Every structure is written in structure tokens, then in C-alpha cells.
Amino acid sequence: MCQKNKRNYKIYILIIFAFMVNFNTFADTVSVKDSKIYVNGERYYIKGICYHPVPLGKWRRSFETLSDDIALMNEAGINTIRVYEPILDKNVLDILASNNIKVIVSLGFNQSGLYDINSGTYEVYINEFKDHPAILMWELGNEYNYHPEWFGGKISNWYKAANNAAKRIKEIDPNHPVSTAHGDLPDKQARRLLDSIDAWGFNVYRWDKPMSIAEEWAQVSDKPFYFSEAGADSFMTQEFEDLKAGPNQEAQARANAIIIDEIFSDSNNNLGILLFSMVDGLWKAGNPSKQDPGGAAPFSTGVPYDGAANEEYWGIVDIERNKKISFNVVKDRYQNFRFSEED
């Protein structure tokens, strides 16, 4: 059987299984309280990965490798994915749910009217999928605080729009939290204008010391938070100590190990982590048919260990799904996770 047919066969089997399981599924009730997240009253911790699978030579997301990716996620102990745009195919959500993988769904502001906040069509998506067992929470935007130019030069316009959307989502769906993915620490204006969200997601690139943001957050807010992005890429723009320039899986693995260990060490005071990311994104910095260093990312000087976000090298697997050293770093920690001791 050719490789393509094998892959299609596995997808068909997963769809059939998901369809069978779906008869007995029901909507989960997800809540956040006291820096903890609960699913149907049971403690949950996000051992997650950011997931935006764009095939080799393509520019748009596709789930054609879903069966292979789920097998890798299950092996690594991943229980949650974060997607940067809504999943439109219910079969994909069914397959994820049947494999015990929850989804944090990002809803953008202006996505040409495709389930976005600006058009109000996000309400259609919430109504359609609010009872799906794959949903963990709704997340508004991604690092929009870095882009006031998208909102007439006033980032307060985004905060107000997101806050109104959060209120509306909770009217439609009281069973799932609403969050936002904020670039690093929210300032006073953000905290004041976004008072209707239930939890904050922080995209944190502070070398290999992500928990420094927790100390700062505790001084200004008691709202729950999770790491919506954290991690390292596998390309060194320049040498650093014993880490050589060029493709360098060891640098990525070393940083990711320290980052995950630090976050897990205080797991009773955060909701978890979505490591960035599952698979290399060859569409980001040039020709999507080959891997290029470079690529633009705002406020990336804290990326370990060279202060540069080489955008096509962030996966814990490469575009062919070969495991990098970081895959085993994640697997060892996610599979053996235990909550830290209470204070």
C-alpha cells in the first residue's frame, strides 16, 4: 500500500471511530478558579502544544496528517492543542475528542468575516460548537497588543472589542472559559479594559525563565493564567556558550527542558503550557518548499539562546514528522507530570 493510501486509511478509521464515540459524548463543563482549571469538576492541567499544520510547499493549514500527528501527541502525553483559527470540520474535532485531546480555539478580530469578532460571525461558530467535547476554552486574538496599527493606532479599541466579545460568548456558552493570548505581561490598561475574560494567556519569551512573569503578575492580579506560548527554536543565528550556530536541536531541547520544568514546578499556580510548537512551519520565512532561517516576529529578543526567532524551526518534529530531541524532552515531562505541592 502506498504511503498516501496508508495515511488516508488511518484517517478513515479515526473518522469512523470518532463517529461511533460521538453518540455517547456530551458537552463538558469547564471552569477556572483559584489558578486552577476543572473539567466536569475534575482538576485539569494543560500539557499542550501550539498546532498549525501547514504541509510542505503549501501556505494554508491542512489536517491531512492529523492521524500521524495525533499518534505523536498521544505518545508525548499532549492533552491540549491551541489552534490559531477555528477548526471548521467537525470530523477533526470528533477525532481529537475521541483521542482525549482538548482544543483552545483562537478567534481573531478581522478574518474577512470568517467567524471573526469584527463581523460578529464568531457567534455562529460558538453556537455551532459550544457543546462539542473537544472544546476547552475560547481564546480571543494572538499578541494583538503588539499591533495597535490594526486598530487605528489605539490598542484600547481591541481591548474593548475583545471584552464585549467575551461577555457575549459567556451569554451563549456559560460552560467554557474565555481567555486572550497576550504578548508578555498585560499593562494596567489591558487589565482594566479586559475585565470580562476568565483567564489570561501569556506568550512568554524570556530566555529560559518564563516564571518571572508569574511573580510580576501576582503583584497586579489574581486572575488565572496559562502560557499560551513558550519555548525555543532549533536554529542558532549565532554561537552561545557551547551551542554552535546553525541548525541546533540541542539548543532547543535544553531550553525547552528548563522552560517546562520551571512552569511545572509551580503547577498549582498556573493553568499549564502550550509549547510552541508541534511541527516546523516552512511557510513562514520564504519558499514553503524548503526550510529557511529568519522570519519576522515581534519582541523576539528573549528567544533562547540567540535572541532571534527563526520562524521555520520551532517544531518538536520536523515537516516530515521526524522527532527532534525536544520531542523526547516533552514526552518525558508530560507523561510523568505530577502537580506541584500546594503552598
Give per-residue burial for 66-90: e unless 16+ CB within 10 Å, then b.
Answer: bbbbbebbeebebbbbbbebbbeee
Domain count for the chain: 1
Q: Is residue 68 part of a domain?
A: yes
Residue 123 sits in a domain whose CATH number is: 3.20.20.80
Q: How many helices (H) and strands (E) does the chain have?
A: 9, 13
Distance from the first to the final alpha carbon of the chain:
56
Q: Is residue 113 part of a domain?
A: yes
- For residue 124, what pLDDT is reported? 98
3-class secondary structure, 19: helix
Q: Is residue 230 part of a domain?
A: yes
Q: Is residue 33 part of a domain?
A: no
- Is the pLDDT score of 343 beyond 60? no
- pLDDT tens readout for residues 71-81: 999 999 999 99
- Is the pLDDT score of 222 beyond 80? yes
Q: Is residue 342 part of a domain?
A: no
Higher pLDDT, 165 or 298: 165
Question: What distance in Å separates the CA atoms of residue 37 and residue 171, rounded to the nearest whole number?
Answer: 20
**Dihedral (C-alpha) 90, 93, 99, 100: value to the nearest 10 degrees?**
-140
Q: Is residue 36 part of a domain?
A: no
- Specify which residues 80 forms β-bridges with: 48, 102
What is the arithmetic mean of pLDDT over 229-256?
Answer: 97
Domain that holds residue 282: 3-23+42-335
What is the arithmetic mean of pLDDT over 238-245?
Answer: 96
- The kind and range of the H/E element at 142 are strand 135-142
The grid coordinates of residue 259 equal: 522552560
Q: Is residue 341 part of a domain?
A: no
- For residue 75, what pLDDT is reported? 98
Residue with cell 481529537: 96
Tell me whether residue 242 is exposed, middle or buried, using C-beta atoms within 10 angstroms of its C-beta: 0 to 12, 13 to 18, 19 or more.
Answer: exposed
Q: What is the pTM of this model?
A: 0.92
3-class secondary structure, 124: helix
Whether 176 and 274 have beta carbons less than 8 Å apart is answered as no
CA angle 204, 165, 272 (to 5 degrees): 30
> Percent of the chain at pLDDT above 70?
92
Q: Is residue 37 part of a domain?
A: no
